[in-house]
């Protein structure tokens, strides 16, 4: 099932689950054909064999048959359940995001895709990834709905303002694959397209070397945290600490005022920056101001990456290239408390 490109009706199969989607598609085509042919033949056979021989004839009445009705209710039901199960299995492989993926951040914007690698490389409308590696996309948008869709990988997910959505894939073949925005997003929707470049690991490393890396998301986030936004004045620990400590926070359960608990995931961190008063941590005063309007989605992504890094949950544990090249001292404060998997386990 490696390649299907010789069949003109199919897009290339280039991800680990592409063949599953195609298999399900063939199964449904087979069922449709098996279902249609007898019905169409019966319609034509009956219509011709019993065609009107005398005007206004009154053929004998046939009222129906409970037996037949039961049979032709149960059989379609059973078949539809097999389709449901097949669909569910494939769906789980598409949408259960693995913990050990290489992180890439995506911000959609009318009408472009801004892509940020953990190494600090950023791209627009292009995504370079190594082959045979799990890639996890964490996505949001600055404005309206978008949808990150790669037909050759047989997957897509809406990109929703105000929250993170996730997409993962593991490309199986080096090559260049079309990327579409599949959710209507206004004037230049059909121009919001790009390419995913799947490369051998060594080519990918060469690509990383050859292109200019900016600050990594974690570095950007630390800069924002310590300098630009001044988060550190309350959250950095020490005698001035008025806000909750963030070390080891990511992935942990947090008790809120009122007794609820939430898991501190990306969504929670994002929300705590934008709407701090909506989820007050037990034991703290609601004194944090909102940063809504002061941070862009990209800065939020960086801040989230930084807070994750404080728990050792960022993917510096999954080096994108040779570990030595990883910016040194990414986080001076990596506590050993929470293992790297705790944070990502619920994704």
Partner 1 sequence: MQNADAIYPDQPVYPKDNYLSNGYTLKSWLLTKDHKRIAIMYLLSVSVFFLAGGLYASAIRLELLTPASDLLETASYNKAFTQHGILMIFFFLIPSIPAILGNFLLPLMIGAKDLALPRVNLLSLYLYWIGGALTVWALLQGGVDTGWTFYTPYSTTFSNSYVMAVGLGIFINGFSSILTGLNFIVTIHTMRAPGMTWFRLPLFVWAHYATSLVMILGTPVIAITILLLAIERVAQVGIFDPAIGGDPILFQHLFWFYSHPAVYIMILPGMGVISELISNFSRKKIFGYEFIAFSSIAIAVFGFLVWGHHMFVSGQSIYAGLVFSFLTMVVAVPSAIKMFNWTATLYKGSVSFDTPMLYAIGFMGLFLIGGLTGLFLGAIGLTVHLTDTYFVVAHFHYVMVGGQVIAYLGGIHYWWPKMTGKMYSEFWGKISAMLVFVGFNLTFFPQFILGYQGMPRRYASYPAEFQVLNIFSTAGASVLGVGLLMPVVYLTHSLFFGRNAGDNPWMLPGLEWRTSSPPPTLNFEESPVVTWEAYEFGIESGLDLDEARRRIRPTVVS
Report the site for partner 1 in 188-217 (rule: CB under 8 A).
188-191, 193
CB of 75 to partner 1, least distance (A): 9
CB of 48 to partner 1, least distance (A): 8
CA 315 to CA 253: how far, in whole Å? 21
Please tell me whether residue 2 binds partner 1 under the rule CB under 8 A: no
Helix, coil or strand: residue 333: coil
Nearer to partner 1, 90 or 264 (CB): 90
Give the x/- contact pattern for partner 1 in 4-43, rule: CB under 8 A: -----xxx--------xx--xx--x--xx--xx--xx-xx
CB of 43 to partner 1, least distance (A): 6
Q: Hey, what's the torsion of the CAs at 217, 318, 339, 168, to 10 degrees?
A: 80
The one segment of 81-89, 218-226, 254-262, 332-340 that binds partner 1 by CB under 8 A: 81-89
Segment 155 to 174, residues that bind partner 1, using CB under 8 A: 155-158, 160-163, 165
Sheet containing 134-141: order of strands: 122-124, 112-117, 102-109, 134-141, 165-170
Segment 272 to 301, residues that bind partner 1, using CB under 8 A: 275
Contact 93, 162 (CB under 8 A): no
Question: How many chain residues interact with partner 1 (CB under 8 A)?
Answer: 88
Segment 55 to 74, residues that bind partner 1, using CB under 8 A: 55-65, 68-69, 72-73
Query: Beta 134-141 vs 102-109: how paired, if at all?
Result: parallel
Segment 215 to 274, residues that bind partner 1, using CB under 8 A: none
Nearer to partner 1, 90 or 249 (CB): 90
Tokens read off for 244: 């909750």
CA 181 to CA 147: how far, in whole Å? 5
On the CB side of 166, CA atoms within 13 Å amount to: 19
CA 81 to CA 76: how far, in whole Å? 8
CA 235 to CA 245: how far, in whole Å? 6
Please tell me whether residue 1 binds partner 1 under the rule CB under 8 A: no
Give the x/- contact pattern for partner 1 in 95-134, rule: CB under 8 A: xx-------------x------------------------
Residues in the chain, total: 347
């Amino acid at each position: 099932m490696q390649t299907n490109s010789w069949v003109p009706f199919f897009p290339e199969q280039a991800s680990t689950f592409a063949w599953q989607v195609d298999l399900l598609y063939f199964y449904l085509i087979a069922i449709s054909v098996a279902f249609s042919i007898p019905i169409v033949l019966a319609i034509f056979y009956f219509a011709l064999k019993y065609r009107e021989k005398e005007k206004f004839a009154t053929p004998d009445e046939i009222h129906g048959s409970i037996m037949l009705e039961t049979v032709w209710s149960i059989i379609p039901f059973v078949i539809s359940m097999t389709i449901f199960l097949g669909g569910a299995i494939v769906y789980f492989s598409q949408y259960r995001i693995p913990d050990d993926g290489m992180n890439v951040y995506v911000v959609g914007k009318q009408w472009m895709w801004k892509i940020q690698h953990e190494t600090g490389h950023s791209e627009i409308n292009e995504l370079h990834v190594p082959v045979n590696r799990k890639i996890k996309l964490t996505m949001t948008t600055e404005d309206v709905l978008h949808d990150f869709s790669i037909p050759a990988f047989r997957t897509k997910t809406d990109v929703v303002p105000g929250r993170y959505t996730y997409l993962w894939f593991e490309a199986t073949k080096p090559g260049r694959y079309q990327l579409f925005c599949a959710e209507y997003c206004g004037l230049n929707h059909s121009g919001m397209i790009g390419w995913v470049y799947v490369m051998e690991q060594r080519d990918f490393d060469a690509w990383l070397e050859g292109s200019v890396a900016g600050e990594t998301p974690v570095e950007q986030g630390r800069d924002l945290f310590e300098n630009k936004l001044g988060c550190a004045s309350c959250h950095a620990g020490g005698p001035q600490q008025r806000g909750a400590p963030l070390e080891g926070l990511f992935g942990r359960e947090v008790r809120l005022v009122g007794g609820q608990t939430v898991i501190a995931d990306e969504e929670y961190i994002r929300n705590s920056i934008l709407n701090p008063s909506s989820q007050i941590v037990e034991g703290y005063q609601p004194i944090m101001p909102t940063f809504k309007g002061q941070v862009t989605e990209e800065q939020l992504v960086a801040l989230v990456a930084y807070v994750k890094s404080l728990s050792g949950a960022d993917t510096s544990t999954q080096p994108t290239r040779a570990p030595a090249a990883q910016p040194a001292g990414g986080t001076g404060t990596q506590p050993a408390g929470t293992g790297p998997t705790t944070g990502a386990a619920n994704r």
